[in-house]
């Protein structure tokens, strides 16, 4: 009995980590900042794939004329649902800064001679 209790606790706690897909929540073209957000419920430890999130941010940056995106600052955690003094849902926001300039090749519309 004493040996099965720690195993049961580890299995129970490992189920609390939940993968989440971050989505674009805001884009500021003037400052070159892209924000991605995902939700996290109470007693969960939500994680997102940093490679996929960076790809989404880079795509948004390229649509604005920048070359790539770099993680910027620390993730921001905002409480979205409160019950009494307990926060039931959080929104985690990741910030990315757009850098560089994309160069598009010129296309020829006529002949040179």
The tokens of 108 are what? 């020829």
Backbone angles phi, psi at 58, to 5 degrees: -65, -40
Q: For residue 53, tell me if it sits in a domain.
A: yes
Q: Where are the beta strands (DSSP E) in 6-112?
A: 17-19, 23-28, 33-41, 45-47, 66-71, 76-83, 86-101
pLDDT value of residue 4: 63
pLDDT value of residue 68: 94
* 16 or 52, greater pLDDT: 52
Q: What residue numbers bound the domain in which 67 lies?
A: 18-101
- Report the predicted TM-score, pTM, of the whole model to 2 decimal places: 0.73
> pLDDT grade, residue 47 (50/70/90)?
confident
Q: For residue 87, tell me if it sits in a domain.
A: yes
pLDDT value of residue 113: 59
**Count of structural domains, the chain:** 1
- What is the spatial distance between Cα 24 and Cα 63, in angstroms, rounded to a whole number? 13
């Amino acid at each position: 009995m004493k040996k099965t209790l720690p195993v049961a606790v580890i299995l129970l706690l490992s189920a609390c980590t939940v993968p989440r897909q971050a989505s674009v929540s805001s884009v500021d073209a003037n400052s070159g900042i892209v924000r991605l957000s995902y939700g996290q419920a109470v007693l969960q430890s939500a994680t997102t794939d940093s490679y996929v999130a960076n790809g989404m941010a880079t795509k948004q940056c390229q649509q604005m004329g920048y070359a790539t995106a770099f993680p910027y600052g620390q993730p921001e955690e905002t409480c979205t649902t409160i019950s009494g003094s307990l926060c039931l849902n959080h929104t985690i926001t990741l910030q990315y800064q757009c850098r560089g300039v994309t160069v598009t090749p010129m296309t020829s519309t006529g002949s040179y001679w």
